[in-house]
Structure 1
């Protein structure tokens, strides 16, 4: 397991600062986001159930992490979170959900990460910040970069049904999403 796949034991947990309280019930804007699998994706137009997990940035094994990355609450854990969604992808698909990851990294960077991590779903790029601005998603600054804070949205027909924020620990987020879908009988309710 690489250093990017392991979470430090003393990882700083984020606190709920209310930055996502406005999201439940919002319709996503019509916005085409570049995808690692080819054509751009407009999340607002997708029918049915969609899980969108937003994360700060996927690290690369041969590159240093951003300054003080391990002490920024909620920053560390993008690779473990993506790997968890990969490992639970079949269960999420069986529940009727399509999965997308979202970061402000460009598509070329994301394509390398998706291939290296063997992700069976697309990563979407919000490098221009259009979706983050439209939804007023929480962000933070490090090393001159504006990055998304970790948040996971469950959408139905382009409308936000459930918000997971803050997400901690990130490697448990996919399991949390599956548990919420089961507890709320969400897939059966929309069939």
Structure 2
């Protein structure tokens, strides 16, 4: 299957250098995470549209939306390279979507993810940072984007992200390059 490649529409150009917003998101590991209180070091927030459930059902027309398909392969790539990212200097890795925590918890368990997912079902992060979104199946969903927050500031932005199933390796290469620089 050939998927449409997302294009850089400039929707993330304003993010680099912004302070992490005071947004608190519920976590699949219990409790919540406040983004402006992540602590020292670099934290990866990979933001994605939605993870299909075990039945694989996605909104109609999903494969025609540039960048929509690939959330499970992206999560699995971050799973497979989680330890490498930590070794390269990441203080933490989180996935973020507009899905509720219970839905995300099922994906964390099914995919054996070693990191927590954060729910932004109210789109507070989207609003605070003016993150790019799109509509599908009657839902407002995030366009795929990854933020590296370093000591409370957005240091690096990956946007658009494609192909999603190789993205963790792209982030890892950036970490290794940034640690040498």
TM bin, normalised by shorter chain, reads over 0.9
Which residue of structure 1 aligns with residue 67 of structure 2?
Answer: 74
**Preserved CA contact (<8 Å) 2:97 2:119:** yes
Equivalent in 153, 158, 164 of residue 159 of structure 1: 153
How much does 1:178 deviate?
Answer: 0.7
Distance verdict in 2 for CA 1:96–1:117, change over 3 Å: same
Long gaps (5+) in structure 1: 1-7
1:151-173 residue CA offsets vs partner (Å, 9 max, x unmatched): 00111012100100000000111
> For the residues of structure 1 that align with 2:151 and 2:97, how far apart are their CA atoms?
21
Equivalent in 32, 35, 49 of residue 40 of structure 1: 32
Q: Counterparts of 1:1-191 in structure 2 under 5 Å?
A: 8=1, 10-47=2-39, 48-97=41-90, 98-185=92-179
Q: Structure 1 stretches (4+) deviating beyond 2 angstroms?
A: none
1:99-132 residue CA offsets vs partner (Å, 9 max, x unmatched): 0000000000000011000000000000001110
Greater shift in the superposed pair: 15-24 or 89-98:
89-98
How much does 1:64 deviate?
Answer: 2.1
1:39-95 residue CA offsets vs partner (Å, 9 max, x unmatched): 100121112110000000000131522111111000000000000000000001112
> For the residues of structure 2 that align with 1:131 and 1:64, how far apart are their CA atoms?
26
Which residue of structure 2 aligns with residue 3 of structure 1?
Answer: none
Considering only aligned residues, what root-mean-square deviation do their CA atoms show, in Å? 1.1
Secondary structure class of the residue paired with 1:176:
helix
What TM-score results when the alignment is normalised by the length of structure 2? 0.96
Long gaps (5+) in structure 2: none
> For the residues of structure 2 that align with 1:63 and 1:75, how far apart are their CA atoms?
14
What TM-score results when the alignment is normalised by the length of structure 1? 0.91
> For the residues of structure 2 that align with 1:49 and 1:165, how far apart are their CA atoms?
18
